[in-house]
Amino acid sequence: MTDPSQYVRARTQEGRGDVRWPAAPEPLAVPVYDNHAHLEIEDGDEPLSLGDQLDRAADVGVIGVVQAGGDIDSSRWSAWAAASHPRVLAAVAIHPNEAPAYAAAGRLDEAIAVIDELAAQPRVRAIGETGLDFFRTEADGIPAQHESFEAHIALAKKHGIAMQIHDRDAHDAVLETLTRVGAPDRTVFHCFSGDADMARIAADAGCYLSFAGNVTFKNAQNLRDALAVTPRERILVETDAPFLTPTPHRGRPNAPYLIPVTVRFLAEELGADLDELCAQLASNTLAVYGSFD
Ligand SMILES: [Zn+2]
Ligand SMILES: [Zn+2]
């Protein structure tokens, strides 16, 4: 087998405009974690190594990252990164947009077996990202998404670890599945994309809502409405780096060191004390994924 540490892929820079790394924000006084990022994807005018990413993050008070996988290679890389760096924990899964291709090749069971094996590693603390995506997948791929999602739910329960849900244009179907088969104890809606009603339903079901940089976007009032009704002990924060860079850096590359921009925005929206919110976010993150130590 190839060395998983060698797996990196470059994000396309074509037609992107300004791909310089934004300046580092002012450090947070109380440290937080980025609970969902894809650090195997190189971005920006000068790609950053994993070590550089983690150092830049630590410099501004972001002391840990949950690295999420989406296929066999990126999940193996995530498990490797977590095993190699004390500031990284891993989530592993076949992404809903990858599941149809594995299924078409007759390899979905085999892929899920790899995820099962990786999930047994001590620093793999979540199954993710899994879920449903009706935006990017054609109708004929939907049955494979459902099959994969339910298999991933079973894996999170089997290993007693958290689950990170990717839900794009599939709110009702995701909630229906969770109600029907039962959600794992610690279930996170990564990059929460619903409205206030959905936030209430998810929080009442005991799920966590993870807000990404798009909560700062002008057209995202639904996310700010959702944030307003989410109990503080259910809120998480993420970058989904290298994507979803928060305002005022929208369109440029994203990385965990930029999460203070989103955290300050959340504090302002909530009318919360910044340090208290950071402490709450950190404690929520550890409650979901366990200790980084
Ligand atoms: Zn996602
Ligand atoms: Zn993601």
pLDDT at 128 over 90: yes
**What spacing in Å lies between the alpha carbon of 38 and ligand 1's midpoint?**
10
**What spacing in Å lies between the alpha carbon of 267 and ligand 1's midpoint?**
24
**Which bound ligand lies closest to the C-alpha atom of 98?**
1
pLDDT band per the 50, 70, 90 thresholds, residue 258: very high
Identify the pLDDT of residue 59: 98
**What spacing in Å lies between the alpha carbon of 69 and ligand 2's midpoint?**
8
Candidate from 9-13, 139-143, 260-264 with smallest mean pLDDT:
9-13
**Which bound ligand lies closest to the C-alpha atom of 241?**
2
- Kindly state the average pLDDT of the residues 33-49: 94
pLDDT in tens, 18-30: 899 999 999 999 9
Instruction: Output the DSSP codes for 149-162.
Output: HHHHHHHHHHHT-E
Domains of the chain: 33-289 (3.20.20.140)
pLDDT in tens, 225-244: 999 999 999 999 999 999 99
Identify the pLDDT of residue 5: 82
pLDDT at 110 over 60: yes
How high does pLDDT run on average in the chain? Answer: 96
pLDDT at 165 over 60: yes
- Please report which residue ranges of the chain form alpha helices under DSSP H: 50-59, 72-84, 99-104, 108-119, 142-159, 171-181, 196-204, 221-229, 259-270, 274-289
pLDDT in tens, 167-192: 999 999 999 999 999 999 999 999 99
